[in-house]
Amino acid sequence: MKKYLLLSLLSWFTIGSSMGQITYTSISFPQAGDVLAISTAVDSLLTITPPSATATAWDFSQLTAVTTNYDTIQAASSGAFYAQFPNSDILQPLLGQVGVSYTDVTATQIERIGGGFEILGISFINSFANTHITQTVPLTYNDVASDAYAFRFSEQIDSVPFLRQLIDSLVSGLPFGLSPDSIRIAIDGDEDRVVDAWGTCAMADSTYAVLRQKVVTDFEVKFEVSVNLFGSIQWVNVAGFIQLPFPTSGTTVQYNFLSEGIKQPLVSITMDSAETMINNIEYLDTTVNNPPNTIDVRYVQNEIAAQIYPNPAQQTVQVQVASEDIPVNGYNLFVIDLLGRIVLSESKVQDENHTINLNRIANGHYIIVLRNQQGEILKRAPLEIQK
């Protein structure tokens, strides 16, 4: 990516007053077990305001969901290839919504350290040749970051059953009757992130303090085979011969509205590379995620080391809390469905080993939340019920 694009953006900025600005911190990083409600909207009248060093007010309160999906953040340890990436914490998509990346979440950044795809029945999983840092904190107005990342995976063709016949058929048009020896997936990307505006964002339920971060990514995906050409090994890109479930190159532009304590953008707007057309709008539909008689479980403030088992559960589930972690007046316990509705609640629990009766709760995926009497979340964990 040509860095002069960022420089031209920065030329719009002036040093403004810091009064009212916010800082986006690590408390908002996703963790295993988080359930993110992602709604998709269509709004032909929506426009992107220019960069600004002074407070801007955005109004997204009229966005209407066409679809809403609930994305549960999976622990990296649940991945089939976790042994290759023992330092990873969560699983994320690798490219768009395709593939898998093993991601390390620290106090200061989110970093994709490995992953890959399954294509043609073959798993291409490897460490990144150059890791992909997708976010850093603290984050405030005028912050700029650039990250180049690379992924490589190669395999000798004859080591995979039936692969020789398949690859030979795909590249039968190579000159001189050349026959490939190995295959390789290569992904190269260049991402620029700039916080180009700040202010308030009106949603259906409330108004939030936000940072607007623009993310521009150039990427190229190659599906290559190696051939011996006049005594020299050459890699030939054959992606054009294969129908892949993702684009093989392009530029994406996103505007993400980030608010402290919320582990997903309040609003994420994807545009074409020329920024003349909005391709997609995703947002946190607070009227769906937190309607009346529901509970807001967006983040854990002072987490305790409670154990919740068995999981999946059938008729009962045990909640084990160390005596020193139980508040003086006990904790309040909630079982919440993926729409945010409270399906079971118990008050002032003081037992170190507490049993929850699940007889009246239907099979499905839920969240267990423990709160102290001040309303602060002490523990949140996913729960699956299978009777």
Give domain limits for the chain.
4-289, 307-385
For residue 369, the model assigns a pLDDT of: 84
Ranges of residues in the chain with a pLDDT under 70 are 1-21, 27, 44, 118-122, 156-179, 239-246, 286-302, 338-341
CA atoms of 207 and 196, how far apart (whole Å): 20
Residues 6+ apart with CB under 8 A from 170: 238, 241, 242
CA atoms of 112 and 127, how far apart (whole Å): 9
Q: What are the angstrom distances between the C-alpha of 273 and each of 174, 238, 277, 381?
A: 34, 25, 9, 39
Residue 197 buriedness (CB in 10 A; 0-12 / 13-18 / 19+): buried
* Residue 213 · residue 256 · CB < 8 Å: yes
Q: Measured over all CA atoms, what is the biggest interatomic distance in the chain, rounded to whole angstroms?
A: 81
Q: What are the angstrom distances between the C-alpha of 274 and each of 71, 196, 253, 254, 296?
A: 30, 17, 9, 12, 38
* Residue 172 · residue 180 · CB < 8 Å: no
* Residue 299 · residue 291 · CB < 8 Å: no
CA atoms of 317 and 322, how far apart (whole Å): 17
For residue 45, the model assigns a pLDDT of: 76
For residue 2, the model assigns a pLDDT of: 40
Choose among 184, 201, 50, 181: nearest CA to 122. Answer: 184
Choose among 288, 221, 226, 210: nearest CA to 248. Answer: 221
Q: What are the angstrom distances between the C-alpha of 164 and each of 118, 182, 219, 222, 236?
A: 17, 9, 29, 19, 16
Q: What are the angstrom distances between the C-alpha of 308 and each of 22, 247, 320, 383?
A: 35, 42, 6, 8
Homologous superfamily of domain range 307-385: Immunoglobulins (2.60.40.10)
For residue 171, the model assigns a pLDDT of: 58
Residues 6+ apart with CB under 8 A from 136: 108, 109, 145
Q: What's this model's pTM, rounded to 2 decimal places?
A: 0.66
Alpha helix segments (H runs only) across 96-252: 163-170
Report the 10 Å Cβ neighbour count for 153: 20
CA atoms of 157 and 170, how far apart (whole Å): 13
* Amino acid residing at 103: T
Residue 182 CA, chain-centre distance (Å), reads 32
Strands 56-59 and 182-202: parallel
